[in-house]
Structure 1
Amino acid sequence: MKRIFIIIILFLITSCKKENNIQNINNTSVLTTNPFLEKAKVFRKKNISDSAFYYFNLAKNSFLEKGDSLGAGRSLVNMGIIQTENGDFLGGIESSLEADKYIKQKKDSNVLRTLAANYNNLGIASNYLKYQDKSIEYYIKAINTAVDQENKYIYYNNIGDILTTQGKYEEAINYLEKAILSKKNKDYSMALNNLAKAKYLFNKNYNPLPEFNRALEIRKKDTVNDGLNSSFETLSTYYLNKDKSLSLDFAKKMLQAATNNKSPDDQILALQRIITLDPKNYLTNFQKFNFINDSLQIARNNNKNQFAFFRYDVDKKNKEYQNLKLRDAEKEVQIFRQYFLVIALIIAIIFITIWYRRRQLKLKQEKEIEVKNTQLKMSKKVHDVVANGLYHMMIDVQNNPEMDKTKILNNIEKMYEESRDISHENIAEKDFAQRFINMITSYSSEEVKVLPVSYKESIWENIPYNTQLELYYIIREILVNMKKHSKAQRASVKFEKNDKNLTIRYTDNGVGIDDLEQRKGTGIHNTENRIESIGGDITFEKNPTGGLIIEITIPIQSKYV
């Protein structure tokens, strides 16, 4: 029957596992792969921003469904960066803040890099929206999180550039002097250009041209040339009040570089400067300015709407999918509950059966133990009453050959009554105190003197009779063993009683016991057990003058006494 139960349980558990395998939540910090993420990366490399954003959004939802918070966070970081790059600064901030909820700081360097990139994006987007102080806060977070030193130099430069815009030139110089430690030409030239600008604005007597020109030369050698816009803008501004012709020339170079780099923001900035410096061509330049500015605003609005639509569309489809999945899950839960109830019922039956059998076995064992304890108790009583009683009578007769037969018969009658009532707990005894002292003195003979010391009948006051009786049997056992084995000539039993303890100290001058611990036999162990049963303590030790010392201590306030 037990085998059948096990087979049924295994079958049901296996069935439940198959039905409940529709969703396996994996709360891991390790980035898992999915096809949406791979497609998004391909479009990102090709600079197809809308498609990249769409698939990063799908990847995010897919990661969330699998319980991969890190994957979802990284997807959101990429979405935020794409939005910021395409002028959707509020959307970029929204995506980055959402990403920050999923990416928690860990020791993993890849996670820290993702966090730093996310804070950098928040800083850039906030700066575009003129939240400059907030932008600096995010850049500082990026510095504290960044793993790569080169990235820190970029963040130092970004902070320095904002502080220069705010007119905090000394603070800006401190950050920019850290930024020029970069070993990358692109980042070094950017920091060098900004540092020279901050120094010049802080001190008009400072000559920034060597640094401006050096940064420009480095940027000209760059195959991408996306830093030329900044250098030409800086030089145009520097010469604005010194040489308007030269300032206009650099503004036109900036416009050309910005056009080549497809940077509409820099084109607008260059045209604003050209309109100011070239009034003759004002109309042409203003029309060009309006066209680029309108086109840029339209493009950015389209991007915002497109990104918002992508997120809404994907979220809508995801909700529909989740609702469908929820209905399926509810059906599975219902099936699982049915399986669970069946399993619980079977397990309950098994446990009740096992418990019942164990209970029966325990009761049987308890009865057997009770019988054994009764037998053991009876055997102890037989030993105490009959064996030691007979031996005591033998000693008494041996020590008193002319003992009156009536006394012998009385002793035999008492022993008979005791042996007849062995099954009773105790034997009623009114003259216990006298009988106790008589028992001790009866072991005294010409060969061995046994002396009771400080014995008084009042010693037994406040001590229950069962304890008295146990002490009677224990002392008699000790004296019997003394007579049989010790070869002692003198023995004493001393009694002491105070408010706390009753102490009985036995001493003899016999042969003692060599290797006391090793030679403890059944008799000594039984004596120890008997003392323990009445809450007392017994010690065996060698007498320094030869022989044996046994000390019994019974606490007066013990729960046994």
Structure 2
Amino acid sequence: MKIIHSPFLCILLLVFACSDKKEVSAADTLYKKAERLYDGGEYEQAFPGFYSAYQAYMTEQKPRDAAYSLVFLAIIQTEKGDFLGSNENLSKALKLSATDETLLTSVYNQFAINHNLLQNHENAVYWYHKALPLTEHQYYKLSIKNNIGIAYLKMGRYATAESLFKEIAGEDAIKDSISFHNRVADNFAYSKFLAGKNNPAEREMLTVLESRKRNGDRYGLTTSYSHLADFYKATDRRRSYEFAGAMHDNARITGNAADQLEALGKMIDAGEAARIKSLFGTYRKLNDSLQNSRNRSRHHFTSVIYEAEKNKADLLSSRNEILTQRLLIVALMIIAGLATVLFLKWRRKQAHKNEIAVRDTQLKYSKKVHDVVANGLYHTMVEIQNAEVLNRHKVLNSIEKLYEESRDIARDDFDTVIEQDFSVRLYEMLESYSSGRHRVLVIGNTWELWRRIAPEVQVEIFYVLRELMVNMKKHSEARTASLLFEETAGGIHIKYTDNGVGISDSAKWKGSGLRNMENRIDKLGGKINFGPNPSGGLITDILIPKN
């Protein structure tokens, strides 16, 4: 499929090429290579190049340049029929565009094109109107208005479209381009035909057709043949069929499969009964081929993005490896020292108690070590792994907090020492498990929910949920997890859901993790149930009584 560059793409190329860069970065090199592939018509090869440039610009903290790469990705996806993927990249570009009017114009215009192709014409008009005031060049303003008029025609607002085309046709700026003048004149005449004004419409559309033939405007000829096939459909089916056939032949020359498909549809509508079966077979074969091509392109784009993000995550992981190893050494020293202190404390205080009391004490401190140190350590490691940019100060604060909690673990009142706003502390812990590979959604965690819950109960809930998140990260292989907090008549209901391997692999949660969760909830007089997610994964229901 041949790409026809819009005026906005031309602006985009010009502005970006002329931007003042004192030195060429690695991202600039990637961008220029992708641009050369794009200009050479190698769109699927250009796509991974532009995505690599986008990632590199984000690493270099150049959001504006990253947005340019995203716009090119979106244009390629539109041309290959991946309209939803194109809109997704345009949304990302929109967030990075800030007040750059050139970028915003390109993004809005491409949004409008996508919505038109998806038959969402009202949305297309909305985005065209957002782009309109951002360009000062009269030719480009008229080009946007022409596109708005086309959208009105597809919406059945023929009088509105006719009035708009009449306004554009009266502007001097259209005289500077024969192809644009013909485009407006043809659309103006077509709108008259749709509004029931056949006499001037026929003459004007035929005049434009001859002009396009003289100037070799292949893409314009496709539109002329299409409009004339529609014009003669009700009055002269033979001529309608001839113009539809001419549209099909011309679309084959331009290589536009979608136009070929539209032309075949018109030929089927206007053709004789003897020809319809053969035409329908050709139509079905071409339609299947076009859909398969679009599906292959969508799969290719998805694979490129997945591999690029995976490589980025692997690189970040390798950069954090040394720091993680050092953290492990420090943590092991803390655990070893803590284990010694706990053992001595236990031996002094528990010498006179019986075997049951000794076993209970061991369980108590084992649970604290597991919840505070092991899970605290793993939580810190997750924060490091999920950080796109490593913040040493934040890491040191986390280690210091882990040290303080570990130092105070033997205190009898340790479980009552919490921060003032429990909802904030809980949210920060849960959110820290979100990353490029894992997404954690938290719903209903408000200050009002916890205001009547005692501090010692809040601590128990905190450790239960952290244990749940650690197991999600280590064992479930889930990509998405959600936690819903609700206040019911019976107390506080917490529902955890993920899309991981599910309850069948719960045996992998070795050690004291599950026991600690069940013991803590049982201690509060609550209930905890683990079950399979019908959609795949795990559902955990926790009910904490109000009293």
2:259 paired residue number: 266
Aligned equivalents of 1:230, 1:329: Cα separation in 2? 63
Aligned equivalents of 1:268, 1:41: Cα separation in 2? 30
Deviation at 1:148, TM superposition (A): 2.9
Aligned equivalents of 1:145, 1:327: Cα separation in 2? 47
From 60, 64, 79, the equivalent of 2:73 is: 79
Measured at CA, do residues 296 and 334 of structure 1 come closer, stay the same or move farther in structure 2, by a change above 3 Å? closer
Aligned equivalents of 2:323, 2:31: Cα separation in 1? 27
Deviation at 1:260, TM superposition (A): 0.6
2:150 paired residue number: 161
1:237 paired residue number: 230
1:392 paired residue number: none
Measured at CA, do residues 194 and 337 of structure 1 come closer, stay the same or move farther in structure 2, by a change above 3 Å? closer
Alignment of 1:243-322 (within 5 A): 243-278=236-271, 279-322=273-316
1:114 paired residue number: 103
1:142 paired residue number: 131
**8 Å CA contact 1:153, 1:178 repeated in 2:** no
From 126, 129, 132, the equivalent of 2:118 is: 129
Aligned equivalents of 1:242, 1:43: Cα separation in 2? 48
From 177, 187, 190, the equivalent of 1:194 is: 187
Say yes or no: does 1:42 pair with 2:27: no
1:70 paired residue number: 64
1:101 paired residue number: 95
Residues 462-502 of structure 1, C-alpha deviation per residue, up to 9 Å, x if partnerless? xxxxxxxxxxxxxxxxxxxxxxxxxxxxxxxxxxxxxxxxx
**8 Å CA contact 2:192, 2:201 repeated in 1:** yes
Deviation at 1:244, TM superposition (A): 1.0
Measured at CA, do residues 56 and 222 of structure 1 come closer, stay the same or move farther in structure 2, by a change above 3 Å? farther
Q: What secondary structure sits across from 1:87 in the alignment?
A: coil
Alignment of 1:456-535 (within 5 A): none
Alignment of 1:399-478 (within 5 A): none
Residues 172-200 of structure 1, C-alpha deviation per residue, up to 9 Å, x if partnerless? 12332344342322222122111111122
Aligned equivalents of 2:315, 2:248: Cα separation in 1? 50
Q: What secondary structure sits across from 1:221 in the alignment?
A: helix
Q: What secondary structure sits across from 1:242 in the alignment?
A: coil
Aligned equivalents of 2:41, 2:182: Cα separation in 1? 25
Q: What secondary structure sits across from 1:130 in the alignment?
A: coil
Aligned equivalents of 1:62, 1:131: Cα separation in 2? 34
From 204, 208, 224, the equivalent of 1:211 is: 204
Measured at CA, do residues 147 and 315 of structure 1 come closer, stay the same or move farther in structure 2, by a change above 3 Å? farther
**8 Å CA contact 2:179, 2:217 repeated in 1:** no
Say yes or no: does 1:171 pair with 2:160: yes
Aligned equivalents of 2:239, 2:277: Cα separation in 1? 21
Measured at CA, do residues 318 and 232 of structure 1 come closer, stay the same or move farther in structure 2, by a change above 3 Å? same
TM-score normalised to structure 2 length: 0.53
1:485 paired residue number: none
Aligned equivalents of 1:131, 1:306: Cα separation in 2? 26
**8 Å CA contact 1:93, 1:126 repeated in 2:** no
Aligned equivalents of 1:116, 1:334: Cα separation in 2? 40
Measured at CA, do residues 306 and 224 of structure 1 come closer, stay the same or move farther in structure 2, by a change above 3 Å? farther
Aligned equivalents of 2:291, 2:179: Cα separation in 1? 29
Aligned equivalents of 2:199, 2:99: Cα separation in 1? 43
Residues 236-272 of structure 1, C-alpha deviation per residue, up to 9 Å, x if partnerless? 1101111111111101101100111111111111111
Deviation at 1:167, TM superposition (A): 1.6
**8 Å CA contact 1:120, 1:142 repeated in 2:** yes
**8 Å CA contact 2:193, 2:231 repeated in 1:** no
Aligned equivalents of 1:243, 1:179: Cα separation in 2? 31
Residue segments in structure 1 that go unaligned for 5+ positions in a row: 1-28, 107-111, 339-561
Aligned equivalents of 1:148, 1:82: Cα separation in 2? 25
Aligned equivalents of 1:170, 1:80: Cα separation in 2? 33
Q: What secondary structure sits across from 1:67 in the alignment?
A: coil
Deviation at 1:306, TM superposition (A): 0.7
**8 Å CA contact 1:30, 1:68 repeated in 2:** no
Measured at CA, do residues 328 and 133 of structure 1 come closer, stay the same or move farther in structure 2, by a change above 3 Å? farther
Q: What secondary structure sits across from 1:208 in the alignment?
A: helix
1:461 paired residue number: none
Say yes or no: does 1:221 pair with 2:214: yes
Q: What secondary structure sits across from 1:322 in the alignment?
A: helix
The AA in structure 2 aligned to 1:151 is: Y
**8 Å CA contact 1:189, 1:215 repeated in 2:** yes
User: Identity of paired residues, percent?
Assistant: 26
Measured at CA, do residues 284 and 211 of structure 1 come closer, stay the same or move farther in structure 2, by a change above 3 Å? same
Deviation at 1:327, TM superposition (A): 4.6
**8 Å CA contact 1:30, 1:70 repeated in 2:** no
Measured at CA, do residues 328 and 218 of structure 1 come closer, stay the same or move farther in structure 2, by a change above 3 Å? farther
Measured at CA, do residues 209 and 322 of structure 1 come closer, stay the same or move farther in structure 2, by a change above 3 Å? same
Residues 5-36 of structure 1, C-alpha deviation per residue, up to 9 Å, x if partnerless? xxxxxxxxxxxxxxxxxxxxxxxx97775111
Deviation at 1:169, TM superposition (A): 1.8
Aligned equivalents of 1:179, 1:57: Cα separation in 2? 38
Q: What secondary structure sits across from 1:282 in the alignment?
A: helix
Alignment of 1:2-21 (within 5 A): none
The AA in structure 1 aligned to 2:127 is: Y
The Cα RMSD (Å) is 2.5
Aligned equivalents of 1:318, 1:307: Cα separation in 2? 17
Aligned equivalents of 2:183, 2:392: Cα separation in 1? 64
Q: What secondary structure sits across from 2:64 in the alignment?
A: helix
Deviation at 1:337, TM superposition (A): 11
Q: What secondary structure sits across from 2:200 in the alignment?
A: coil
**8 Å CA contact 1:199, 1:206 repeated in 2:** no
Q: What secondary structure sits across from 2:233 in the alignment?
A: coil
Aligned equivalents of 1:221, 1:72: Cα separation in 2? 42
**8 Å CA contact 1:248, 1:277 repeated in 2:** yes
Aligned equivalents of 2:393, 2:83: Cα separation in 1? 49
TM-score normalised to structure 1 length: 0.51
**8 Å CA contact 2:121, 2:154 repeated in 1:** no
Aligned equivalents of 1:282, 1:324: Cα separation in 2? 63
Aligned equivalents of 1:304, 1:133: Cα separation in 2? 26
The AA in structure 1 aligned to 2:99 is: Q
The AA in structure 2 aligned to 1:227 is: G
Deviation at 1:311, TM superposition (A): 1.0
Deviation at 1:329, TM superposition (A): 7.7
The AA in structure 1 aligned to 2:240 is: S
Aligned equivalents of 1:327, 1:214: Cα separation in 2? 71
Aligned equivalents of 2:198, 2:393: Cα separation in 1? 84
